[in-house]
Amino acid sequence: MTNQRILSHFHESAELKIQSATVLAPHIAQAIEMMFSALSNGNKILVCGNGGSAADAQHFAAELVGRFERERFPLPAIALTTDTSILTAVANDYSYREIFSKQVQAFGQAGDILLAFSTSGNSANVMAAIEAALEREMRVVALTGKGGGAIGKMLTDADVHICVPHDRTARIQEVHLVTIHCICDGIDVALFGGDVNE
Ligand SMILES: O=C(CO)[C@@H](O)[C@H](O)[C@H](O)[C@H](O)COP(=O)(O)O
Ligand SMILES: [Zn+2]
């Protein structure tokens, strides 16, 4: 019984990944192109999300500033989920809704990219961050699920929407993870070409 449950998690996850690959590949390719071009112009990437998606935001920033699979110079990415003094002050003095948007206003510049994670597409603080980014002429890459929610409706044609075709938060997060690894790999390939062992 327990084993069956475990097996079904693995199967559902694997099946969704296969199914998402075709649907998401063109959007992921667009995100890679947009990020590579921004980084090449001296711009940076700000990243945000709640809960498991906060971990994804930090995971992505770590792979850009540190490394993914290749040795290379550090690339500028900042997770907006890590400074507990900023997060608690803004949540306490203003609202939880503004914890990311205030940081976008503080650090974001035209041409920078906001990478925004929300499995529901409806987290108010992620939406506020997107609003702030668009006001500053930043571009947005949104990783969502569940049809994209309100975030899907806020994005412009200049932005990229990577919407996982599923309704279960855990499954969506699992596809978000492989997506950020695709993006890291794509940026490395754009920088150096070829495969990892070259
Ligand atoms: O990791 C999980 C569930 O798998 C949770 O921590 C989850 O991230 C949190 O409930 C988030 O607050 C959900 O926000 P969102 O993805 O809808 O924007
Ligand atoms: Zn989770």
Q: Is 177 in the pocket of ligand 1 (CB under 6 A)?
A: no
Give the chain's mean pLDDT: 97
56 token code pair:
């994804």
Ion ligand 2: residues, Cβ under 5 Å: 52, 173
Query: Domain residues of the chain, as ranges?
Result: 2-192
Q: Is the pTM higher than 0.90?
A: yes
The sheet with strand 139-145 has its strands ordered as 77-79, 45-48, 113-117, 139-145, 160-164
Q: Is the pLDDT at 196 greater than 80, yes or no?
A: no
Ligand-binding annotation for 118, yes or no, is: yes
3-class state of residue 51 by DSSP: coil
Query: By C-alpha distance, which of 106, 112, 130, 131 is closest to 41?
Result: 112
Provide CB contacts within 8 A for 60, sequence distance 6+: 47, 77, 79, 115, 180, 183, 184
ipTM over 0.95: yes
CA 20–ligand 2 middle distance (angstroms): 18
Q: For 25-53, how does the pLDDT look when each residue is reduced to its tens digit (9 = 90+)? A: 999 999 999 999 999 999 999 999 999 99
Domain covering 2-192 in this structure, CATH number: 3.40.50.10490
Ligand 1 pocket residue status of 170, Cβ below 6 Å: yes
In this prediction, residues 72-88 reach a mean pLDDT of 98
Query: 116 and 142 in contact (C-beta within 8 Å)?
Result: yes
Cα 108 to Cα 44: distance, rounded to the nearest angstrom: 8
